[in-house]
A and B are shown apart, each in its own frame.
Chain A
Amino acid sequence: MSAPPRRRGALAAFLRHPGAVIGLVILLAVVAAAILAPILYPTSPWRMVQRPFMPPFTLDRFPLGTDALGRDIAAGLMHGAGVSLLVGLVSTLAALVIGVPLGALAGYFGGRVDDGLMRFTELFQTVPSFALAIVLVAILQPSLSSLILAIALVSWPPVTRLVRGEVLSLRSREYVQAAVVTGQTTFTILRREILPNTLSPIVVLASLMVATAILLESSLSFLGLGDPNRMSWGFMVGAGRTAIRQAWWISTFPGLVILLTVLALNLIGEGLNDALNPRLSRGDR
């Protein structure tokens, strides 16, 4: 199929979406913060740099004030950006690695394979995912890798369901039948003929999954299950919780940053959806 012109059209459609552009700008700012953090704030964000409970906008060097232990909140926000993006991205990739093959197998083979795999998927969809994530991180001990593993393990079922549906509808197409007749292996057919055509809905879903993963990571860190060596936004909100009456700013700023990042990813997801699945998006407006 003539991919390049359609792609260009998709990019134009994406950029015409005002929300998507705003989302992209916010996301780029977060990425910039993550990259610049070690340069602008080379000292550890855990270090006490000023008197505790300093309100924001008092000193130019510490624009967002300090927390209960005199740590610079602006520095924490910058360093936390990397953790949120890393966990969001890697756990989503891991969820795709689990979800795409399972969905492809279920959709391609149908019958008993499909039944078995879908039962398995349903099990993971029924279990309260946040509770399972808590249990997993608590048992594996909080660290960056256990956070990523736990988030991936609770996020893959929607991928499987999506890919299964797409593959189910594609496998009876003539070009797939032609590939079967020419004796290509199942693996080749799935990889070369079917999966490339499921890419756009997967991209849309993945962008929304990164948003959910960032929310999950911050919720786990808020409960004290974050990596103890990494400053994260959720941890900062949690640390300010007990002093919420005296020092509103400690919890407010990190939460606001989480909100903006998640919002940006959702806007980008909507823009991608309109750009890549034009028929679908027209249906809901």
Chain B
Amino acid sequence: MIGFVAGRVGKGIVVLLAIVVLNFFLIRLAPGDPALVMAGEAGAGDELFVAQLREKFGLDQPLPNQLALYVRNIASLDLGYSVRQQMPVATLIADRLPATLLLTGSAFAISLVLGVTLGALAARRAGRAADTAITGLALLFYATPLFWVSLMAIIVFSVRLEWLPSFGFESVGAGHAGLARAADIAHHLILPAMTLGLFFMAVYVRMTRASMLEVAGQDFVKTARAKGLGDRTIQRRHVLRNALLPVVTLAGLQAGTLVGGAILTETVFAWPGIGRLMYEALLQRDYNLLLGVFVVSSAMVLVFNLVTDVLYRVVDPRIEAAR
């Protein structure tokens, strides 16, 4: 197990290194002098200043040296400085990361629980009205633009019904503390987490349904039925358990899409996470910050993939035997 985890961590580091190298070349593609880009300054500055920057970032050295310096900086968690926001990029991201983790984590949990439940329900009623309704709904959510459904949710639940707040992380100036603050944050979290979760719910509904129908046709299910087990027991203990494995695999692969979706959700709901930070960087054409968020979100996905890989091995010991 330790060997497996070490192998996976090693692989993850190689992928991350490749992403950092990609980033290095992307900075050079950005409009304007790379020194100014890295300094977070878009307009042309004074020539002496530019020369200083070049020296600081090692841009007066040959390309391989520059790359080595860049990789070393990132390895020591130095993502550069954002002049627009007057703060180091790493600090900016670290401040925003918890909000994103809260949002994506909640959306992930909501989508997985709802998706598996509805998918299992549809599989049990395959071909009947409930199945048609659930698969139709899943198809609809699958095709809905995330940013649009977020806006529609605001119109319905915030503007018309006035049930839920439409933006922000918590009530500004309310001075809540402890449990009251947690409840306030949860209240703000409902709309973004639900809308972000809907698309992924659709993915899990389709996967769970297809996977359950496939497992239901297998011999061991027939055996269970022949033994005289009740339908509920068979569905829950024999079919669902086995059908969940491909769903878990898929959930691991969805991490990147989830982070991408968070960019849109956070933008619409002014949720103070790294997705919103990316949007702000975009508006200000702060390329250094933009690429910093990109590297960190890639790292997030890698960590998530690693965790699901390990979990998968714990859940299904057969995987070990197969390798």
Contacts and interface: CB of A to CB of B under 8 A. Distances in A.
A237 B155 contact: no
B260 A223 contact: no
B303 to A, nearest CB: 11
Contacts, number: 137
A135 B143 contact: no
A122 B147 CA distance: 28
Contact of B294 (A135, A223, A255): A135
A130 B257 contact: yes
Contacts of A223: 263-264, 267, 279, 282
A266 interface: yes
Given A138-B285, A140-B29, A131 B298 contact: yes
A263 B31 CA distance: 37
A215 interface: yes
B177 to A, nearest CB: 31
Interface in A131-172: 131-132, 134-136, 138-141
Contact of A285 (B126, B287, B301): B126
B29 A263 contact: no
Interface in A227-275: 234, 237-238, 240-241, 244-245, 248, 251-252, 254-256, 258-259, 262-263, 266-267
Given A219-B145, A251-B148, A266 B139 contact: yes
B154 A244 contact: yes
B268 interface: yes
Contact of B145 (A132, A255, A285): A255
Contacts of B285: 138
A201 interface: no
B152 A255 contact: yes
Contacts of A252: 151-152, 155
B30 A128 contact: no
A222 interface: yes
Contact of A131 (B30, B147, B287, B293): B293
A134 B305 contact: no
Contacts of B256: 125-129
A206 interface: no
A123 B19 contact: yes
A252 B47 CA distance: 49
Contacts of A132: 294
A66 interface: no
B145 A244 contact: no
B282 A262 contact: no
Interface string B102-136: 00000000000000000000000011000000000
Contact of A284 (B127, B154, B214, B279): B214
B24 interface: no
B15 interface: yes
A63 interface: no
A263 B214 CA distance: 25
A221 B147 CA distance: 11
Given A138-B282, A283-B214, A131 B148 contact: no
Nearest to A254: B148
B283 interface: yes
A237 B309 CA distance: 38
Given A128-B256, A130-B261, A237 B293 contact: no
Contacts of B29: 139-140
Interface string B240-272: 000000000000010111011101100110000
A78 interface: no
B159 A244 contact: yes
Given A139-B30, A141-B31, A244-B159, A215 B298 contact: no
Contact of A262 (B30, B126, B143, B149): B143
Contact of B298 (A127, A136, A211, A251): A127
B26 interface: yes
Contacts of B15: 122-123, 126
A222 B264 contact: yes
A263 B145 CA distance: 10
Contacts of A248: 155, 159
A262 B149 CA distance: 14
B312 interface: no
Contacts of A125: 253, 256
A131 B144 contact: no
Interface of A: 122-123, 125-132, 134-136, 138-141, 211, 215, 218-219, 222-225, 234, 237-238, 240-241, 244-245, 248, 251-252, 254-256, 258-259, 262-263, 266-267, 283-285
Given A134-B282, A252-B152, 11 more contacts: A126-B256, A126-B298, A127-B19, A127-B256, A131-B259, A139-B287, A223-B263, A238-B147, A262-B143, A263-B143, A285-B126
5 tightest Cβ-Cβ pairs between the two chains A and B: A130-B260, A255-B148, A263-B143, A262-B143, A128-B256
30 contacts: A123-B15, A126-B302, A127-B256, A128-B257, A128-B301, A130-B257, A130-B261, A131-B259, A131-B294, A134-B263, A134-B278, A215-B143, A219-B145, A223-B263, A224-B282, A224-B283, A225-B282, A237-B148, A238-B147, A241-B151, A244-B155, A245-B159, A251-B151, A254-B148, A256-B148, A259-B148, A263-B139, A263-B140, A263-B143, A266-B142
